[in-house]
Structure 1
Amino acid sequence: MVFRLASAAIVAACLLGPASAAEFEKNIMTGGPQGTYIQIGRDVAALGKSCGLTLNVQQSAGSLENFVGVRNRKNTQFGIVQSDVLEYLKTFEANDPEVQQAVRGVRIMFPLYNEEIHVLARADIKDMKDLDGKKVAVGVKDSGTFLTSSLILDILQVKTGERVAINPDTALPKLLAGEIDAFFYVAGAPAALFKNNPIDGAKFHLLPITEAPLLATYTASRIDAGTYAFQKEPVDLIAVKAVMMTYDYDVKRNAYQRESCKAVSEFSSLILNNLEKLQATGHPKWKDVDLTVLPPGWQVGVCVKAGMALDYKPACKAPEAATRQPDGNEEYLDLLKQRLKKQ
């Protein structure tokens, strides 16, 4: 059932077409207003603004909608997607023509950071198995949270009493009011939803997720004590990788494709040359970014590689990039280029 819902969500619905170069528009699909994706998108947009490049940060339901957006939504060159969504699509691509069509042309831009899988539950619910028979919010159907929660519950054979398809922003007040028993939220810690809302640690807690069958797909992780005010002890759980996706634009096709490719190259160059700035001033998750950890089976876009080239000349130069002295990053860039050549 999860596969069919996801397949329906990603079937191609429109063709990429031309746009006016004079008013060329660039967008990044992110997530909900309190999620990590939207903050990462705002950091990238701010970096572009410092060079005179406008990037519109679009809210969305999450990973599935973002993947579809990169493939089908006009003037949408970037989207942030969970790695388990990519693995899911790659698994079914070979035998499903609809999935083959949906993923055609979608490419990796950069791997980002690990996103922790939060399950906030009543205090009397001690582990994932205790979700049997409970009313659990699993995210809206176009979100990565929905796919992840559905996969986890199915892998663990947890038979919930009801799976409620609502987003985490809606689920939190329902949990606090006793209308549901728990909810899933895939987001890089610290997640603003949990930091900016009062939660009684005596009544609610994050569930540990340590079941061995999940480690074939997910990465073991930990949220340290005090990350959230209600959480006094560390919690061992699992995480997925957040990945920035783009499209493999053909510069020979039309003006829209040329301008979009140029935008991808520009932002690829900006992120590479200003990663230290993002780590110093952006969301804390930038500190965990490793641009060499590429998801298996996915290719890096040609426009991304163009922007990564050592001889690439961006349309503008950030002050930090223009004045910074050599600091040994040449070796880092060479390593990244070698890794990408293997794709």
Structure 2
Amino acid sequence: MLIASLLLLVLRPVQAQTEFKIVTASERGTYIQIGRDLAKWAAQPAKIDLDVLPSKGSSENVQRLRFEPGVKLALVQSDVYQAFVDQADNGNAAAGRLISPLRVVLSLYNEEIYFVTRADSPLTYIHELKDKKINIGPVGSGTALSATTLYRMMFGTALPEANASYLSNEDALLRLTSDKSLDAVIVVAGQPAKLFSEMKPEARKYIKLLRLDDNAKETARAAATYFPATIRTASYPNWMSEDVPTLSVKAFLVTYNYGNETTQTSLRQFAEALCANFDSLQAEGHPKWKEVQLDMPPLGKGWKYFAPMERTLRACMAQQRTRTVPASMQAPMKKDCTQQEKVLGLCRM
């Protein structure tokens, strides 16, 4: 009888964890590390097996969150999200289908924008990039959207296609320093970014960062969407000898407006665990977590929070303030498009 009871205990099926996916960015970027932190400190306590997936970046993430089975969360740059909203408002039906059902979970941190050029380049400032050959990152990446938006805002015209290349960060840096067919490479990543932190001291012989000039009229034009930031020597002591002023863009954790009760329950538990373990995220996660505020500020026009997670987070935040911890596919495309639609993935190449 005892043996039979023991066998029943051994053979009793273990309750399966919920399986979700989150799309991030490149393997050597900051987003994927943030995703791994969320998998450990928010998903695991909520009994969610969160598969952290690399991607080209924010624009692709919007589409994968919308259409790829199993993808329930995504990391998206604020300018990419806003660009989809603007495209929808301007009558782009594909953009509307993509963005209208998406919802914000949490505002995260500002991502620094790196303007990389050769060490021997005569360029010093970001506003000197007009008419230069620039790598803006793969089509579908947030970097491509940020780079083209910034160029248009700063110089009043689109980056000429003849001057744009869409290589990965790694390939572009090699091209920059070898055949010199590029004048600059733009990278968007929260510091410290693995791409740069793994560089050896010899890197300063080959590359440098362009600086933001607060007095340039081009800088003032970008200020409506992008924020001043500093790339710190402490983040890259191997190859940086001084801090470099630059621009940045906000990162958001985003989901879909799910109506399924089971999915809502899992996401509420994720939100509860995120709040309960927020101190651990800041202490043990990527350094960027120290810049994240556990609050829910007003969103831009056309943006909405995901109501079930919003209610959970607000209730948890209220408890935290009293020092109480709770228990714990592709969209339709078109052939003719603008450069912005192209980098958003809203047209055929």
Assess, with a 3 A threshold, how the Cα gap between structure 1 residues 130 and 280 changes in structure 2: closer, same or farther: same
**Superposition map of 1:1-343 within 5 A:** 24-47=18-41, 48-50=43-45, 52-96=47-91, 97-123=93-119, 124=121, 125-157=123-155, 162-179=163-180, 180-198=182-200, 200-210=203-213, 211-228=219-236, 229-250=238-259, 257-290=260-293, 291-297=295-301, 298-308=303-313, 310=315, 329-330=321-322
Cα distance, 1:50–1:267 mapped onto 2, change above 3 Å: closer
Q: What is the deviation of 1:24?
A: 4.6
| 1:134-173, Cα deviation, whole Å (9 max, x unpaired) | 3321011100000000111122228666211012132222
Q: Distance in 1 between matches of 2:47 and 2:267?
A: 15
Q: Which runs of 4+ in 1 moved over 6 A?
A: none
Q: CA RMSD in A?
A: 2.6
- TM-score (structure 2 length as normaliser): 0.77
SS for the counterpart of 1:89 is helix
Structure 1: how far apart are the matches of 2:267 and 2:324?
21
Aligned position for 1:7:
none
Q: CA deviation at 1:67?
A: 1.1
Change in 2 beyond 3 A, CA 1:332/1:134: farther
CA distance in 1, matches of 2:316, 2:163: 56
Structure 2: tracts of 5 or more residues without a match: 1-14, 214-218, 326-349
Inter-partner Cα distance in structure 1 for 2:133 and 2:61 = 27
| 2:341 counterpart residue number | none
Query: Post-superposition shift, 1:23?
Result: 7.6
**For residues 282-305 of structure 1, what are the alpha-carbon distances to aligned partners after superposition, in whole Å with 9 as ceiling and x for unaligned?**
000000002334531211102312
- Residue pair 2:24, 2:31 contacting (<8 A) in 1 also: yes
Query: Scaled by the length of structure 1, what TM-score is found?
Result: 0.78
Moved more, 51-60 or 150-159: 150-159
How far the C-alpha of 1:110 sits from its partner, in A, is 0.4
Q: Which has the larger radius of gyration?
A: 2
Residue 177 of structure 1 aligns to which amino acid in structure 2?
S
Task: Quote the offset at 1:50 in angstroms.
Answer: 4.7
* 1:259, distance to aligned residue in structure 2 (A): 2.9
Name the residue aligned to 1:317.
none
In structure 1, list runs of 5 or more residues that go unmatched.
Answer: 1-20, 251-256, 313-325, 334-343
Measure, in 1, the Cα distance between the counterparts of 2:67 and 2:242.
44
C-alpha contact (below 8 Å) 2:19/2:48 kept by paired residues: no
Q: Distance in 2 between matches of 1:31 and 1:154?
A: 24
Higher relative contact order (CA 8 A, sep 6+): 2
